[in-house]
Amino acid sequence: MTHSAISRRRMLRSAAAGSLIATAAPDVMGAARAQSGQKTFVFVSGAFCGGWIWRRVTDRLEQSGHKVFAPSLTGLAERSHLLSRDVNLDTHIVDVVNLIKWESLDNVCLVAWSLAGYVGSGALESIGDRVSSVVWLDAFIPADGQRAADTAAEPVRKGIQAAIDKGEAGVRGSATYPPAVVAERDRAFAESKVTPHPVGAYLQPIKVTGALQKVAKKTYIRLPKFRQPPFDKALAECKSDKSWATFELPDVGHMAMLDAPDRVSELILQAA
C-alpha cells in the first residue's frame, strides 16, 4: 500500500472524528493534492461577514495549488460602502453567479456557510451545471418561498424588525460573540470585522426548484456547539439522504474557519 493511500485513510478517519491536529495538515493537504489535482473553490460567507473570514482556509488551499475565490457580498466587509435598502437576496445570488460566469469557472466546489445557504441555493439555480460539489458548513437549506428572516435566530429577528422600524439598510449583529460562535482568542478579531447585513437579504423569499439536490457530490458539516434548530433539521435530512455525506465537529464554534482552519480545509478537500 502506498504512503498516499495510508494518508488518505488516516485523513478520512480523523476528519470524521473531528480530531485532526495542525501538525498533520501539510501531509494531508499534500496527499489530497496528489490524489485529486487542482480544484476550484468558491466560498460564500454568512451574515455580517465577508471574504475575510475564510482567509485561514483559503491560504491553506492556495498553498496546496488550488484555485480559490472568496467574494464579499454586496454591502458587506470591504464592500460595506455599497450597503443600501436596494440590496436583497437576488443581489447576493447574482454576486456569486457573476463571479463564476465572468471567471469562466467549471467543476466548482461551492462552499456556503450559515446564511449563505440561501445564497448558494439560489445561485445553483443558474450555475448548477458549473458546480461539481457543494459543502454546506453549518448552513441553511431553504425551501422554495422561504425567507431568511423566517429561519433566523430570535435576536436576529429582533434586529431585522429594529432595522425596519428605523428605516435602516442593515441589520446589526451581536455586540459580543460567545464561545459557541468563535473561540475567545479570535473574538476581538471577529467583532472588529463584522458589518451590518443588508436587511433586504433577509426579507426576500427565495426561489428554488431543487438545483442543490441535483449536485452530484454534497457534504453537510454541522457544528453542534452552536445551537441552531434549522441546522439540526438540515443535518438530520442530509443524514437520511444517501446522496449527502455528513460530518459533525462538536468541539468547534460556528466560525469554524477561524477556530479550526486545518480541519475545515481537510474536510472541504475531501468533499471537493
Per residue in 164-222, pLDDT tens? 999 999 999 887 899 999 999 999 999 999 999 999 999 999 999 999 999 999 999 99
256 close to 264: Cβ distance less than 8 angstroms: yes
122-173: pLDDT as tens digits:
999 999 999 999 999 999 999 999 999 999 989 899 999 999 999 999 999 8
**Bridge partner residues of 134 (DSSP):** 110, 218
Report the relative pairing of strands 108-113 and 67-69 from DSSP bridges.
Answer: unpaired
Q: Which helix (H) or strand (E) holds 29?
A: helix 25-36
Q: Where are the domains of the chain?
A: 3-271
3-271: CATH number: 3.40.50.1820
Question: What is the residue-averaged pLDDT of the chain?
Answer: 90
To the nearest whole percent, how much of the chain has pLDDT over 70?
A: 87
- State the SS3 of 163-207: HHHHCCCEECCCCCCCCCCCCHHHHHHHHHHCCCEEHHHHHCCCC
- Per-residue pLDDT tens digits for 208-262: 999 999 999 999 999 999 999 999 999 999 999 999 999 999 999 999 999 999 9
The structure's pTM equals 0.86
For residue 36, what pLDDT is reported? 54
